[in-house]
Every structure is written in structure tokens, then in C-alpha cells.
Structure 1
Amino acid sequence: MSTTAWLFPGQGSQAVGMGLALAEAEPAAKAVLREADEALGFALSQLMAEGPEETLKLTEHTQPAILTHSTMVVRAYGDRLPKPNFVAGHSLGEYSALVGCGALGFADAVRTVRERGRAMQVAVPVGVGAMAAILGMASVDVEACCQEAQIQTGQVVVPANFNGPGQIVIAGHAGAVEVAMELLKGRGGRKMVKLPVSAPFHSPLMEPAQVAMTPVLKALEFKTPICPLVNNVDAQLVTDPEALRQGLIRQIPGAVRWEAITDLLLEQGVTTFLELGPGKVLTGLVKKQAKEKGIEVRACSIGGPEDLVGLE
């Protein structure tokens, strides 16, 4: 019997129409939309279905929308899918993972991630911060160039997401990010892309958001999950409710260690990876990392009824 991990995507996987086919096909999924609308006090379901895209892309809307879609998949198909031995989520997806493994209630989670989105947006004025994807560079080079850019500018720039081998995202002050990119070019960096994001997530510039969210997270009830969660900030197996809470607090300014999370899951013998929610980003990252290690896995994304074909 294979060992299974449920994975949950983060920001960037949203799209107008997300979850629409799933809600039409599965009453349990439609009920999640109603629960989200009631918890938030506005029609998130309509925004997900109809847009406009610019409104959906606002982080205070994106975060609850992605969490809601992932929870729709869990509620609709959880009993038909292999049960998880582990769960993990990328950034925001850690909240979806906590709901998926029974550690956090959905209504609490969807309200919290909306507050998280707002807190992250106001932490840094638009235009002050930036993020950039650095492809094909070793982490040691990225870290060294970020440190040098900080010395040169007196500003902040750090690795924010270690997504996979040769896939690192940096974040910080816009000027420092530009300097780091130039330094990386000097080390042979050729593929660098500024990301269309509204804030420098997972960097020390998010500390005001951490301060704002700490009392919100401390007020939530966490339960013991049905299986271990691999958290973002440490890439470690966690089951203690208080440790789960602290992980969410610490991940706001902390780096997402997705490459290490995938390594740990592979070391634990996971051979089936199911990405639940919108998009296929994590599925692609897992396939690539497993292939580079010579490990054969089954990895697929499930966002709607069409994705169940051939899976069950």
C-alpha cells in the first residue's frame, strides 16, 4: 500500500471560475462555498465564479479563495481519495492543509487568511517591496548575493521561497532585489523574473504583519491532526497543536522551505502526491524533484470532477 501526501497550493493558483465545475457537480463542495460566504460576510463564491480578475487577485481575496477551493476538494472527494499519511501546504496552503487534516476549522481558517492577506498588504506600501524568481542558481549563490546586496544598499533582500532545485524566489526592498539580481547575473545567472506580486512575502519586511496576526492566531482553536503536517518554516513533521499555531506565526516573515518539505516526504517513503485545489504548481515541483533523485512517484492535481478520471 502506497504512502500518500496531500499537498495544498498557495497564492498564484487562483483564476476566475475556480471551483465552479466542482460546486455544480458536488453538493458537499457547494456547501463549502455557502460556509465561506457566511463566515466572511460577503459573496466570495460569486467573486470566485465571475471575477473580476483584478478583484480576485487582491491578496485579501486570493487567500480565502484558494483555501476555499482546496477545502471544497477535500469535502467532495476526501472519502474517495487515498487517505493522507502526511499533509503540507505552500505558504497560504499550510492553512488549507490544517483544515484538510482536521487541525483547524474551515470557518476560522477562511476568516483568518483574509486577515492575513490584509495584514500582509498593509505591512509594506505598494511599490516599496518586490519579489523575483531566480532559476538555475544554487542556493549558496543566491544567499551570498542577497547578503552582498543588503550590505551595498542597507536594505532587506532574502531568499523567500526555496521551491525546488534551482528554483528560488527572493524578496525584500525593490532596490535591494534589483541589486541582488545584478549580482546574480555576475555569477552566471541568466533566468530571473520579477514577480507580479503586491508585497515582499516571506521576508523580514512582513514582521508588521506577523505582529498583527499573532493575537488572531493565538485566539484560534487548534486540534491534534489526523496525520503529521510538514510545516513551511522548519520543514519538520508537526502534530502538537501549539506547534502548529507557532508555525503559522513564524512563517509570515520566514522562508518557505518547499524543497526541504518534498525531500522529507520522499524520505518518509511517500509515493503518491495529491495536490488538492487550484493549479498544478506543486505537482510539477514534486515530479521534477523526485525524477532528479531517481524516485518513481505518482503526482497529480485535483481541482474538479475531470481530475478524478483514472485516479480512483
Structure 2
Amino acid sequence: MTGWTGPGSVAATTGCLAMFPGQGSQRPGMARHLLDTYPLARRLFDRADEILGLPLSRICVSGSAQELGRTEITQPAIAATSLAVWEVLRSAGYRPAAAAGHSLGEYPALVAAGVLSLESALQLVRLRGALMGEVAREVPGAMAAVLGLPAAQVLAACGSAEGLGLGLVQVANYNEPLQTVISGHAYAVEVAGKAALAAGADQVVPLDVGAPFHCSLMAPVVEEFTEALAAHAFADPVLPVISSVSGAHVRSGEEARQLLRRQLTGPVRWVEVLHTAARRPVDAYTEIGPGRVLSGLARRTLGQARTRSTGDPRRLTALHAEVTPERRQEPVAS
């Protein structure tokens, strides 16, 4: 099945959505197999170390969970690991129909789509993580996942908590139809969670994150980040890319820039991303980077979705072997 093509895009060779994970997918040693096995991955990490002046390659191979859990480190580490996987698969012949990234994952997705350079994406992601870390140090914020309750009722629970004057609490992630993440002032998030349980939620799970992401508490850093976005070049996409901010296709580089600005304070609309991809049509979903979170979200949102992940040596090796012959069988121009 051929994926959607539009102005400025290239024809896809599979009907697959390349999904790039966000914060929370990190784990110690997440890039060890990449650096041990694939010279392309080693070169990308060497370049990332040089661009950022950080030992990302060491951190992603042997860093502790505590070191990797610092927001200003987590974000470039996940982005670099995801882009290393992308380079390995792309060089073997992997050609998705479209790309999308969950929050932070939107940056490597934009690199895959030709919108951002590796250097720009890593520099922006590092600043993004640092700015979010500043908010976390100044605001007693929290995030929690509400499970088993439709999003409309989660929104109502947030409204009831805010109505009591307890602070700000908003929906941060629409992850799947019955999994919605809320974010805001710590006590307001706690009270909204209790209201969600009273409304019938199965569970409310506090998230171990470095900051209250994707809510209005991030507003103080928007101006500085907007200035940083303006300093980098954004090209029009050459591969269809779906924004987690709007849930729709990104039509230009300038639109991508504005969406990344909005992403700081706006919710991640992952359910809409998946439904947009399915209408193109996409019939398979590959997680490009550490973890298997997005694969699970795709299956639970779309039912019988075919998913693949690449976060461990066995799965990446299997997919690499599958796509490599496609490259070898392409006709050679005379």
C-alpha cells in the first residue's frame, strides 16, 4: 500500500507511520546496541556530542538512571537515540509513508521529514529541556495519567479542581481514548485526579517527570524559546509529517516552527495523530527509538494496528534485515 503524497513530498515505499517517542521512553543503556553494532549510529552520536558539547554517547550507553532523568539531558538523549535508529533504517532502505513524534519526538520527526537539520534539532531540544527544567525548579508542578475515563470527563475533573481555586490543572496528553495525562500545580493535579476517580476512572498514576509539561505553567519560557526557533532554518517537509500539536499534517516549514512554539503550553493530541495517519491510509506503525510506549498506544487506539518497535537489538535487527533487500532491489539508472 502506498502512503499519502502531497506537495513537496516523496513517494513512500510502505504504508507505515514512523513514530518517534517522547520523554519517559529513556532507559539506561538505551543506545548501547546501536553504538556497538552500527557505524552510522556511532557517527551520529559523535556528531551529537560535538554539537552539544555533551557526552551523550557515554550517557546513552553507561549513564545512570538519575543522570539520564535530568530533563536537560533526557531530551537530547532520546532525540539522538531516535535519530540514530532512523539513520540506520533509512540507510538500509526504510521509507515510511509519514512521520510523527510524541511531544519531544516531533523534533526527530521533523529531521526525518527534512524540515530541521540534525544540528538545529539537537540545539533546540537541549534548550527546550533546560527551559523546562527551570520551570520545574520554580513551580511545584506535577503530572498524572488518568486511565479508564473518556477525555471529556477528565477535562471536567480538571475544571472542578480549578474552580476550587487550587491552582492550574489542564489536559497535557490525549494519549489514547481512555488514557489522558493532566498537568499543572501539584495540589490541583492531585485534586483533579481524585475527581476523576470519583467519576469512574480505573486508576490515576502520578508520573515521574521533571516538569509540568504541556500546560500554561510553561508560558514564562515561551518568549525565549520563540527567539531560539526564529534563529534556525525550517524547510518545507519532503516527507509527510503529522504534528502532535494539531493532529494534522504540517504543510510548511514556517507552520512547523509555529507548532513547536505552541507545543510548550498545548496538549499532545496523539489520538488525532493516529486517526489522521489511518485516513491517509497508513496500515502499519513503527516506533523509531527507545521504548514501546507508542506501539501500545497505536494498538489500543486503532484496534488491530500492525506495530513494530526498534528499542532493543532483536527488534531493530529484524526490521533492518527486512528493509535492506528493498534497497538492493531498486533499479539502477543507466
Q: Check whether TM > 0.5.
A: yes
- From 294, 297, 303, the equivalent of 2:305 is 297
SS in 2 for 1:7: strand
Deviation of 1:197 after TM superposition, in Å, equals: 1.3
Q: What is the SS of the residue equivalent to 1:270?
A: coil
SS at match of 2:51: helix
Between 245-254 and 267-276, report the one with greater CA deviation.
267-276
How far does the alpha carbon of each residue in 1:110-150 deviate from its partner, in whole angstroms, 9 at most, with x for none? 12111100101112436610101000001111101101111
Partners of 1:247 and 1:127 in 2: CA distance: 24
Which is further off, 301-310 or 216-225? Answer: 301-310
**Identity %, equivalent residues:** 40
Q: SS state of the match for residue 98, structure 1?
A: helix
Once the two structures are superposed, residues 269-292 of structure 1 have per-residue CA deviations (whole angstroms, 9 ceiling, x without a partner) of: 10121110000000111112121x
Contact persistence 2:141–2:211 (CA under 8 A): yes
Q: Does 1:70 align with 2:60?
A: no
Pick the aligned partner of 1:109 from 110, 118, 121.
Answer: 121
In angstroms, what is the RMSD of aligned CA positions?
A: 1.4
One-letter amino acid matched to 2:195: L
CA distance in 1 between counterparts of 2:88 and 2:53 reads 23
Deviation by residue 1:287-306 (Cα, 9 ceiling, x = unmatched): 12121xxxx43210113542
**Superposition pairs of residues 69-218 of structure 1, within 5 angstroms:** 69-125=81-137, 128-218=140-230
What are the Cα deviations for residues 25-74 of structure 1, in whole angstroms up to 9, with x where unaligned?
11110001100110011211111111122111001000000000011011
In structure 2, relative to structure 1, the CA distance for the partners of 1:310 and 1:125 (3 Å cut) is closer
Tell me: CA distance 1:22–1:304, structure 2 relative to 1, closer, same or farther (3 Å).
farther
Cα deviation for residue 79 of structure 1 reads: 3.2
Superposition deviation, residue 15 in structure 1: 1.1
Give 1:166 deviation, angstroms. Answer: 0.4
Which of 173-182 and 162-171 deviates more?
Answer: 173-182
Who is 1:230 aligned against?
242
Q: In 2 relative to 1, CA 290–190 (structure 1 residues): closer, same or farther, beyond 3 Å? A: closer
Query: Could you tell me which amino acid in structure 2 is paired with residue 177 of structure 1?
Result: V
TM-score by length of 2: 0.89
CA distance in 2, matches of 1:297, 1:16: 29
Aligned residues: 308
Q: 2:161 is aligned with what amino acid?
A: A
2:285 aligned to which of 273, 276, 285: 273
What CA distance in whole angstroms lies between the structure 2 residues aligned with 1:124 and 1:27? 37
The answer to whether the 8 A contact 1:73-1:304 is kept is no
The 8 Å contact of residues 158 and 170 in structure 1, kept in 2 or not, is answered as: yes
User: Could you tell me which amino acid in structure 1 is paired with residue 305 of structure 2?
Assistant: V
* Partner residue in 2 for 1:56: 68
* Counterpart code for 1:181: G
**2:253 aligned residue:** 241
Question: Which of 43, 51, 70 pairs up with 1:39?
Answer: 51
SS in 1 for 2:283: strand
Structure 2 residue 32 is the aligned partner of structure 1 residue 20: yes
Distance 2:41 2:164 in 1: 51
